[in-house]
Structure 1
């Protein structure tokens, strides 16, 4: 293989988008195992619940924008959560064409049980980094997010 071929060859282990994706999926799956066993929620359902708990009255479109989930995944997660009684859909009082999502009492109860689990998992993960490294990671993530999405903040 020539030097030129070596330069243009994609090495996934060194390719940042691949590495970020694998890391994100691995971290998410580890936490998801905790709330799947205990509460029977998928990763997608928990993400919808987490965003709805943080922003009551949010629309399905806004959930997709905030989570970078595709429309089908958002729709399926919402349908499943409505079916089990964790989320309810209401028509907006200000715009009859808009549906707003809210956690039900049961959904709020589960949300309040999962949040400490998620925060503890985050704490354990972040403990592997020093305080300076945590600050640096946050700064670097902000820079990458701004570069990847210059027109709107990712979070």
Structure 2
């Protein structure tokens, strides 16, 4: 098998390359790990949510989210508040400092994303998004089949 033409390998290599160039922004300028950035971004979009919601929306494992939450909480970027519907559970929400940090990072990572997308014509960008959606659906079907 030629890995250079094997779709899962190509997607993994591209994903790693894109993640690394985006991560340079939040890691080098703001000291955030990939997991911390994903949690921060998920909370900025969601408001206050359960940890399980963050896990589902970030594709991170429970322990990865737990560590990221602990660090972000320790840095004063998010807070845990008691879940009124579950006496044992917690809800997570960004503190003002977390929102401010998110607001600084987003334009920088979006600029990098746009630089990457500028390699494609608008029609190619649309086709890429459509193809990615279709492949994601198929991958989920295969996962469900076992």
Normalised by the length of structure 2, the TM-score is 0.90
Distance 1:85 1:126, change over 3 A: same
- In the alignment, which of 123, 144, 147 is matched to residue 114 of structure 2? 123
**Per-residue CA distance 1:96-148 (angstroms, 9 max, x = gap):** 23311111111111001111111111111110000110010011011011111
Listed as ranges, the gaps of 5+ residues in structure 2 are none
Cα distance between partner residues in 2 of 1:76 and 1:82: 10
Count residues in correspondence: 142
Listed as ranges, the gaps of 5+ residues in structure 1 are 1-9
Cα distance between partner residues in 1 of 2:13 and 2:57: 20
**Is 1:53 matched up with 2:41?**
no
Q: Could you list the runs of 4 or more consecutive aligned residues of structure 1 that deviate by over 6 angstroms after TM superposition?
A: none
Quote the RMSD (CA, aligned, Å). 1.5
Tell me the SS of whatever aligns to 1:39: coil
- In the alignment, which of 47, 52, 59 is matched to residue 68 of structure 1? 59
Cα distance between partner residues in 1 of 2:3 and 2:67: 31
| Higher Cα radius of gyration | 1
Cα distance between partner residues in 2 of 1:145 and 1:36: 28
Greater displacement, 95-104 / 77-86: 95-104
Indicate the residue corresponding to 1:110 in structure 2: 101
Normalised by the length of structure 1, the TM-score is 0.85
More strand by share: 2
Indicate the residue corresponding to 1:138 in structure 2: 129
- In the alignment, which of 2, 9, 17 is matched to residue 18 of structure 1? 9
